[in-house]
C-alpha cells in the first residue's frame, strides 16, 4: 500500500426523509441569497422541487434559480452560472440532481470568485482557485458519486475537450434513496454501471497486489452487481436502491483509493467520445470497458483473475491465471448484455462518420493504468467498439 493522507470534508446525510430532517439546520449556517441549481426539470415533476423550495422559504432564503444544466455540462453553462452568482450576490449554492448538476456547481462556485478564466487558470497556468461559494448537494440521481469530491468533468465545446476541472467540496450531501425512485430505468442502469466502472478503474491502479482498499472495492463491486439485478427485478425495491446510492458514493469518497494510484483510462477515452458525440456516459463506458480490457489483459491478468474469483464467482479450480482473466472479461460482457446496456457504438446511435482518430488523439493517457496505451492503440479500441 502506498503512503497516503486521508481527510474527508463532506458531511453525508443518508436515508429517507434526510432533507426534511437535516437541511433546515444546514441552512441556518449560510447567508440569505441561495442559488438553487438543477437540470431539466424532473425535480418539479417528482415533488423534490416543491419540498426543497418550501424548506428554503421556511428558512427565510432569497432563492435564485439556475436551471437547465444538461448531461455532460458545458463550460458555457458554468460561465452562465458564475455570472448569475455574481450578479445576485449568492451566498450559498444548493445543487439538486445527479452528477452533471453537482459537477457544474463545483466550478460555478470557484469561477464566481475569479476574474480570470478557470479553464486557463487550471490547464494553462497550472494554478487553482482559492475561494469558493459554500455549497450543499441533494442527490436525486446516482452513479458518479460526484457529491463526494471536488473534481468535475466539464465539456469545453470550443476546445472539443471533455475534461477535469477542480472546484469546491460540498459542505454536505443529502442522499435520500427515495428521491431516485423516479429515475428512468435507462438512467438507473447507466448510473449503476458508471459506479461499477469507477470501482474497476480504481482497482486497476497500482499497487497491483491485493490490499485492504482493493478488498473493500471487491465488496462494492459485488454489491452493485447484486443490487442492480434486484432493482431490475423490482424497480420499487427501496432497499436495493439504497445500496446502489451508497455504493456510488463509496466509489468516489476516496476510501477505495487509499494507498493506491488509479487507472481511469476507460473514463478518459469515454470523456473524449462524449466531447465529440454528447453520448450517454454510462453507456459509453459499457461499450469501451470490455474492448479496452482485452487490450490490457497481458499486463492486468493477476487483477482480472482476482476479480473473476472474488467478484464474479468464477471457480478457480483447474484454471490458469490467463483463463481466469479471460473469464472476468467474459462475465463483465455478459452482465452488460444482461442489464440491457449497449455493446457497440452503433447501438448507441453514434454516427458512422464520427472522427474516432481525433477522439483517440485527444484522449489523456493515464499514468496509473497497468498498461501504457498509445493513442494508436486507443484508436484500435474505438474501432473495435463500432
pLDDT the model gives residue 191: 96
CATH T-level assignment (fold) for domain 11-179: Rossmann fold (3.40.50)
Closest to 81 (Cα-Cα) out of 113, 128, 53: 113
Q: What is the DSSP letter of 74?
A: B
Q: What is the DSSP letter of 145?
A: -
Q: Is the dihedral of CA 217, 222, 227, 228 positive or negative?
A: positive
Q: Please state the separation of Cα 94 from the chain's center in Å.
A: 19
**SS3 state of residue 14:** strand
Give the whole-angstrom CA distance, residue 370 versus residue 381: 16
CATH of domain 189-384: 1.20.1090.10
Q: End-to-end CA distance of the chain: give it in Å, rounded.
A: 38
Cα-Cα-Cα-Cα torsion 348, 68, 199, 255, nearest 10 degrees, comes to 180
pTM for this model (two decimals):
0.95
Query: Domain residue spans in the chain?
Result: 11-179, 189-384
Determine phi and psi for 58, rounding to 5 degrees.
Answer: -60, -30
Q: What is the DSSP letter of 169?
A: P
What is the chain's pLDDT, residue by residue, as a tens digit (386 residues)?
A: 888 888 889 999 999 999 999 999 999 999 999 999 999 889 999 999 999 999 999 999 999 999 999 999 999 999 999 999 999 999 999 999 999 999 999 999 999 999 999 999 999 999 999 999 999 999 999 988 999 999 999 999 999 999 999 998 999 999 999 999 989 999 999 999 999 999 999 999 987 888 999 999 999 999 999 999 999 999 999 999 999 999 999 999 999 999 999 999 999 999 999 999 999 999 999 999 999 999 999 999 999 999 999 999 999 999 999 999 999 999 999 999 999 999 999 999 999 999 999 999 999 999 999 999 999 999 999 999 99
* Grid cell 448510473 in the structure block, residue: 191
Amino acid at each position: 500500500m502506498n503512503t497516503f493522507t486521508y481527510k474527508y470534508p463532506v458531511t453525508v446525510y443518508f436515508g429517507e426523509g434526510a432533507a426534511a430532517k437535516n437541511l433546515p439546520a444546514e441552512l441556518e449556517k449560510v447567508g440569505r441569497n441561495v442559488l438553487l441549481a438543477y437540470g431539466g426539470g424532473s425535480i418539479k415533476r417528482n415533488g423534490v422541487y416543491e419540498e426543497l423550495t418550501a424548506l428554503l422559504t421556511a428558512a427565510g432564503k432569497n432563492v435564485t434559480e439556475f436551471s437547465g444544466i444538461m448531461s455532460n455540462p458545458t463550460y458555457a453553462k458554468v460561465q452562465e452560472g458564475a455570472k448569475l452568482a455574481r450578479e445576485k450576490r449568492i451566498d450559498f449554492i444548493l445543487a439538486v440532481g445527479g452528477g452533471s448538476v453537482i459537477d457544474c456547481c463545483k466550478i460555478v462556485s470557484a469561477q464566481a470568485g475569479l476574474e480570470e478564466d478557470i479553464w486557463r487558470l487550471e490547464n494553462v497556468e497550472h494554478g487553482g482557485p482559492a475561494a469558493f461559494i459554500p455549497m450543499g448537494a441533494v442527490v436525486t440521481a446516482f452513479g458518479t458519486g460526484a457529491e463526494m469530491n471536488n473534481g468535475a468533468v466539464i465539456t469545453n465545446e470550443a476546445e472539443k475537450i471533455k475534461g477535469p476541472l477542480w472546484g469546491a467540496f460540498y459542505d454536505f450531501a443529502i442522499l435520500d434513496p427515495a428521491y431516485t425512485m423516479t429515475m428512468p430505468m435507462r438512467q438507473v442502469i447507466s448510473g449503476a454501471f458508471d459506479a461499477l466502472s469507477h470501482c474497476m478503474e480504481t482497482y486497476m491502479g497500482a499497487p497491483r497486489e491485493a490490499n485492504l482498499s482493493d478488498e473493500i472495492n471487491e465488496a462494492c463491486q459485488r454489491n452493485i452487481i447484486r443490487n442492480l439485478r434486484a432493482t431490475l427485478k423490482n424497480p420499487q425495491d427501496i432497499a436495493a436502491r439504497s445500496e446502489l446510492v451508497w455504493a456510488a458514493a463509496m466509489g468516489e469518497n476516496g476510501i477505495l483509493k487509499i494507498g493506491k494510484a488509479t487507472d481511469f483510462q476507460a473514463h478518459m477515452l469515454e470523456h473524449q467520445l462524449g466531447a465529440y458525440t454528447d453520448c450517454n456516459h454510462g453507456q459509453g463506458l459499457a461499450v469501451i470497458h470490455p474492448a479496452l480490457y482485452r487490450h490490457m489483459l497481458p499486463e492486468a491478468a493477476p487483477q482480472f483473475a482476482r476479480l473473476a474469483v472474488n467478484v464474479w464467482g468464477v471457480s478457480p479450480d483447474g484454471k490458469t491465471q490467463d483463463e481466469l482473466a479471460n473469464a472476468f472479461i467474459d462475465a463483465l460482457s455478459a452482465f452488460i448484455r444482461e442489464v440491457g446496456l449497449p455493446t457497440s457504438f452503433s447501438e448507441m446511435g453514434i454516427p458512422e462518420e464520427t472522427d474516432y482518430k481525433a477522439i483517440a488523439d485527444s484522449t489523456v493517457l493515464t499514468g496509473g493504468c497497468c498498461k501504457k496505451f498509445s493513442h494508436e492503440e486507443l484508436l484500435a479500441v474505438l474501432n473495435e467498439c463500432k
